[in-house]
Structure 1
């Protein structure tokens, strides 16, 4: 009881809603102790976590868009126009980050990151939002293909998705389960349906994917490469999942970001990705061991610091040369 009160108090501040503190406590409880012998953070009551998740998600842009999409159903062309306008406002013009491999290449060569390295434009996701409320037939295969391609999953282009959707419409391939899309788009309902164990498992999935995503991003910042890291990136690339992870994962999330990402980690796709990556780590756990370097993790860290110092020195030299 004392440990629980102390954990909650760490995240409470004057004027702050208690539910935000509960979410931060839940996130903290899922992290391993920082030092050996440290007492683990106790778990908050899962019922309180569930209510906090629902409260935050109900106020999220994603959930508001789902509810707006439902209200637009049956409202004709005027409702469709209003839905697209609302989706455009809520989704904004977010683009994913440049791919870490291209960032690394630019740092090594001293060149700028090419403009085409910028991540996918998620603005086309308005079409999926429309499909939730208006139905896939109202949106059309081409628009939906554009939206699905924005995720970048499985390396499929808009043309690939369009061919598959058209084949499904003609009865030549299994049809898409748009009913499942409508159901899964409602994150509040997903949290409500999830068992206590599933919420805890989703936290584990989210924490694991955050670590794998972080390694991938740091590859772009000259983190020493190892065969084990390369194998992890290869697994992620085989699924075409980096753009989605970049969209979902925040390294230091706010309670709102944590709640939305946790709700997404209830879905089978991200759970499967986590299991695949954990399997890869079990096969080759030497993430921080440079081949031929007997110093292990210590040498790995020193190698990274050296690379960053050299990069900084070359940047200063280039700047001084330009000034001259």
Structure 2
């Protein structure tokens, strides 16, 4: 089976499995797991932040970050196509009494400054209105097709946030895809955000875990919130060890995933009945639509599965294919053969 539904299906490398066997363990709730400490220090250094903390998942990482930034009764500005708004179960409202203020997401993943401006009341002292306390941006942007936010835009958001007196959190689940695509260090990208989370368990291929980074004071708040949310884990070295391997050895190879995604997109563009914008493919995510009298997206996805190709729908009837370390160039070519057969 060729697995293109998500890069969450990546499996740990042999080196990661070996690191788990050899790791020295301690109780991380007591902050005594040496490998976790090493991973957090390495990530903080790599991102140019004061501190970092290991989290069980990206959802908890984003939730704890929002709770750390926002007082109860305030608003968090999010994109209406963002993972935080759509896929994370309204956690900030449920757990923190924080209101989501969705604004339109542009085709390239940006939130227009003019749209964010509308989330701020004209009379901030009017007690009728909840006040924004945080802007969340997503980089790369999942539902917009793995698009990378330009540095010039990140600077605009930073300037706007400072003018409004609010913080910026970056949901960087696929942060290092953006770094590789732009050919710059991740630290430069996250310098425009007060906090960031990224996933070890997507393109970086570790089996579990995400990281939050920011100031020492901020990370200490997240540390307390992680415990409250049930994320205080014990011998986390078995998570941290493969995570460190991911950080040290799995970033540069993301270029291969980007090349395979582009190869897939170009191949799809040559198949009648496939609607795709090749120019939108910047990292490892490919979106396309089915425009064929024989198929709906539902029948197409089912037929593809029966022929050995796993893909899925991700909003608005679009089919998503995600390349990762478990997919080789030969798999891309085989996937294109399957799709050609289904569309013929």
TM-score (norm 2): 0.23
Larger RCO (CA within 8 A; separation ≥ 6): 2
Greater helix content: 1
Greater strand content: 2
TM-score (norm 1): 0.24
